Structure 1
Amino acid sequence: MKETEASAGEAVERQRLRSRLVDLLNAYSSEANHIGHAFAGRHHMHGTDLHALLAVMHAERAGAPLTPGRLGEAIGLSSGATTALIDRLERGGHLRRIRESADRRVVHLRYGEAGMLLASAFFTPLAPRTDAVMERFDVAELQVVERFVQGMVDALVGYRNELRGRD
């Protein structure tokens, strides 16, 4: 009987945590979007521009810079729309097109110096706040959070890809 009560209690707690975590992830996403829109608005950028810059930044950090085609796939734009977006971001100093491969036809996108300076100036005041939160967790706890958030991102990307396949 005790084992059944314990597993029922665990199921209730699991459901409570599931609901709470989904609510928190939604709140985080919403707040991050508000901040992203504030950045885009202050710098006369479109929301899509911000998504593109984030995709380029993440790809660079991962050591796998994006090509224009991969950027278009990543943010769901046609080839023509991607070219217009890259042209706009390049004119603003946010992106650079670089030919760094032995195949000179391959173009990689890199974050531009001007774009990095703007982003740094805007987002640096946020860093102490997020650092203070992370300091409350030890390395093992942060590794669990990392696994969880990565799993959630993977789930969203998988679903987004399914939705694109239905178009």
Structure 2
Amino acid sequence: MERDGHDDTGQEIVRLLREVADGLGALAARFAARHGTHPTDIRALSCLLDARDTGAPLTAGRLGARLGLNSAGTTALVDRLERLGHVRRVPDAHDRRRVLVVLEETSVPFGRSVHEPLAERSAILLKGYDEHQLAALREFLEDVRAAVRQRT
């Protein structure tokens, strides 16, 4: 049952979110093709940039889980990124049994260039929202992210 157009608005927001996700995927695919790499490599670089920025480094297993890859696919990905000079494997200082996948500093600008133009435009757009709207946007996106992670 529809309440004051709430259901229609919700459906429209979900459709817009799907269009944004599709568009981001297409942007990453074009960027990857332009640079002779695979879209999964670009997704991995984004994950590794986030890990670097938050101070929460990733093991190969955690990187693979975020990307939805099995062990063999993850190994092939990390090997490929290592050959390209984008990452290196380093022993975890807190647990020598674990190996972390770390983004090379020389690859940070490359990794950022994937999303930087959109990030800059988004920052400008966000200035038009008040703190309550921003809190609602953040909560919605966090909930969607959690739903995606739960599904994968």
CA contact (8 A) 2:46 2:111 kept: no
Q: Counterpart in 2 of 1:150?
A: 142
Equivalent of residue 122 in structure 2, options 121, 130, 139: 130
Unaligned runs of 5+ residues in structure 2 are: none
Q: Counterpart in 2 of 1:77?
A: 69
1:100-143 Cα offsets, whole Å, 9 max, x none, are 41432321112222321213344433343112211111222111
CA contact (8 A) 1:93 1:113 kept: no
CA contact (8 A) 2:86 2:107 kept: yes
Distance in structure 2 (CA, Å) of the matches to 1:59 and 1:114: 16
CA contact (8 A) 2:88 2:101 kept: yes
Cα 1:58–1:113 shift into 2, 3 Å: same
RMSD across aligned C-alpha pairs, in angstroms? 2.0
The normalised TM-score by structure 1 is 0.80
CA contact (8 A) 2:59 2:100 kept: yes
Task: Name whichever structure is richer in helix by fraction.
Answer: 1
**Kindly, what percent of the aligned residue pairs are identical?**
34
The normalised TM-score by structure 2 is 0.87
Letter in 1 for 2:88: R
CA contact (8 A) 2:49 2:108 kept: no
Q: Are residue 36 (structure 1) and residue 28 (structure 2) matched?
A: yes
Give runs of aligned pairs for residues 1-167 of structure 1, distance below 5 A. Answer: 11-160=3-152
Aligned residue-pair number:
152
Letter in 2 for 1:63: G
1:65-99 Cα offsets, whole Å, 9 max, x none, are 11112222222222222111101101212222222
Name the SS for the 1:96 alignment partner: strand
Q: Which structure has more RCO (C-alpha within 8 Å, separation ≥ 6)?
A: 2
What is the CA-CA distance between 1:29 and the residue it aligns to?
0.6
Unaligned runs of 5+ residues in structure 1 are: 1-7, 161-167
Distance in structure 2 (CA, Å) of the matches to 1:127 and 1:70: 25
